[in-house]
Amino acid sequence: MPTTPSAKPLDLSAATVHFNRPVPVLVEDALRREIGVLAHNGALVAYTGKYTGRTPKDKHVVRDANSEPHVWWENNQAMSPEEFDGLVQLAQEKLAGRTIDVVDTIGGAAAEHQLKVRFLVESPYHALFIRQMLIRPTAEQLADFEPDWTVVDLGTVKYERTVDGTDRDAVIAIDFSRRMVIIMGTLYAGEMKKSVFSIMNYILPLKGVMSMHCSANIGKDGDTALFFGLSGTGKTTLSADPERFLIGDDEHGWDDNGVFNVEGGCYAKCIDLSREKEPDIWDAIRFGAVLENVEMTDARVPMYESKKFTENTRCAYPLEHISNAVFPSVGGHPQNIIFLTADAFGVLPPISRLSPEEAMVHFLNGYTAKVAGTEAGVTEPQMTFSTCFGAPFMTLHPKVYADLLRAKIAEHGSKVWLVNTGWTG
């Protein structure tokens, strides 16, 4: 693994800087600056403008001596160190005169795999979002916090260029040598959390730890279950089971001790959300939560059925908002592993038990559908093959993850199931 120290911190002397502001202050500032509005349930409601989902075409990894032998370059767009230098310079210039929130967070509930990540963000809405999404350090941890990584999030700054004849203005760039991420041109907050996931998908497997795009929960008898799936296929919904205890809804690692959450919050789709169907998620949307791109009535009541801004309406909230979440967010080795496939063509049965060999085929193929709104330009379900059920976030070659998963299944005797959450018949 690369041992290059974190990049030299950006100079914030020309900016107005706030450090680790609490939730009420972030909400107040967002309202005062008209970046968001308050819903009747207490959640902050924000709108992301042009980008209402991730923009994979604008994501890049710096290609250098450290990353060259490890990164899956067929899937990850390369950026030269020189172009990243230009991004750093642009970020430094644009920080001047801005109000910046510094948000210190931790990725990874397992102490031996924790990653300390510092975010520099220009929007109090984004500061609230990432504060609630990752693990919040204790006061003792904050006292001597030294970040392993820095993420610079300047959504209002355009990075204008022409790529293959197409004008682009957003960028998400990851440099594994400098341990820095720069996000520009998009206000979609999900890019921040997925950047951390991409980092963990690089670091953990190189330590022999399986990283997974899945949700996880625990039964009353202590049995752990994993739910793999592409964004929007049901991970959050199925893991939020009132009869089971939630570990996490999206990003996990699996080491010699069991499963651990990478995050400290949930990021749920809320299109057509109802208390009857998803009571835990409904009740989690309260003060401290963030609603994204949700239309509201004049009385500030969220209209979850509305697709006015996007079908990819989202809510972000800390795990503490889920009454049956477990802390710390860890579990044992999984007895059951479920692959969630949103079959857009109705060819798969509702449920199938997979042999270890079949499990590897489905894991590597990742047959599913892109659900409307989860990526820019996706307006209806589209058949896709997303290896490891999360190709956009897989930094290493799929075989690395498949070999780790195969070994874990064999060692612990986990049962693997294929569940169709899409269309049948």
338 vs 350, more confident: 338
Both 128 and 159 in one domain: the answer is yes
- Does 31 fall in a domain? no
- Is the residue at 46 inside a domain? no
What is the structure's pLDDT at 383?
79
- Residues sharing a CB contact under 8 Å with residue 378, sequence separation 6 or more, in sequence order: 53, 370, 371, 372
Q: Which has more pLDDT, 4 or 357?
A: 357
CATH code at position 259: 3.90.228.20
**pLDDT at residue 3, rounded to an integer:** 38
Same domain, 390 and 247: yes
Our answer to whether residue 58 is catalytic in this structure is no
Residues 119 and 262 in one domain: no
What local confidence, expressed as pLDDT, does residue 341 receive?
A: 87
Catalytic residue among 52, 198, 231, 368: 231
Q: What is the pLDDT of residues 134-163, one digit of tens each?
A: 999 999 999 999 999 999 999 999 998 887
For the cut 60, the answer to whether the pLDDT of residue 1 exceeds it is: no
Q: Parallel, antiparallel, or unpaired for β 115-121 and 224-228? A: unpaired
Q: Which is catalytic among the residues 235, 244, 269, 408?
A: 235
* Active-site choice (59, 60, 131, 314): 314
Residue 167, pLDDT score: 84
Model pTM?
0.93
Q: Indicate if 235 belongs to the active site.
A: yes
Q: What is the pLDDT of residue 246?
A: 97
Which pLDDT band holds residue 2 (cuts at 50, 70, 90)? Answer: very low
Residues 128 and 223 placed together within one structural domain of the fold: no
Decide if 250 is catalytic. Answer: yes
What's the mean pLDDT when you consider all of the chain?
93
Residue 253 has pLDDT above 70, yes or no: yes
- Is residue 343 very low, low, confident or very high in pLDDT (cuts 50, 70, 90)? confident
Based on the residue annotation, tell me whether 54 is a catalytic residue of this protein: yes
Does pLDDT of 316 surpass 50?
yes
Do residues 200 and 332 both lie within one domain? Answer: no
59: Cβ–Cβ under 8 A, 6 or more apart, which residues?
76, 77, 172, 173, 174, 198, 392
Among 60, 136, 179, 194, the active-site one is 194
pLDDT grade for 384, boundaries at 50, 70 and 90: confident
The residue out of 190, 206, 222 marking a domain boundary is: 206
Q: Which domain holds residue 347?
A: 210-266+325-420
Same domain, 74 and 201: yes
Q: State the average pLDDT over residues 127-136.
A: 99
In a domain, 106, yes or no: yes
pLDDT above 70 covers a percentage of the chain that reads 94
Q: What pLDDT, on a 0 to 100 scale, did the predictor assign at position 241?
A: 87
Residue pointed to by tokens 């682009």 = 168
The answer to whether 314 is a known catalytic residue is: yes
What is the CATH classification number for the domain harbouring 147? Answer: 3.40.449.10
Per-residue model confidence (pLDDT) at position 229: 87
Same domain, 115 and 220: no
* Selected catalytic residue, list 29, 58, 104, 250: 250
Give the chain's domain count: 2
Determine which one of 21, 54, 63, 126 is catalytic: 54
- In this structure, the answer to whether residues 262 and 406 fall within a common structural domain is yes
| Known active-site residue 231 | yes
Instruction: Note if 415 is an active site residue.
Output: no
Band (376; pLDDT cuts 50, 70, 90): low
**Residue 4 located in a structural domain:** no
| pLDDT band (50, 70, 90) for residue 230 | confident
Nearest-10 Cα torsion for 367, 357, 213, 217: 120
Please tell me which residue in 213, 244, 362, 370 is annotated as part of the active site.
213
Beta carbons of 117 and 151 less than 8 angstroms apart: yes
pLDDT of residue 342: 81
378 or 87: which leads in pLDDT: 87
Q: Given 236, 387, 395, 421, which residue is catalytic?
A: 236
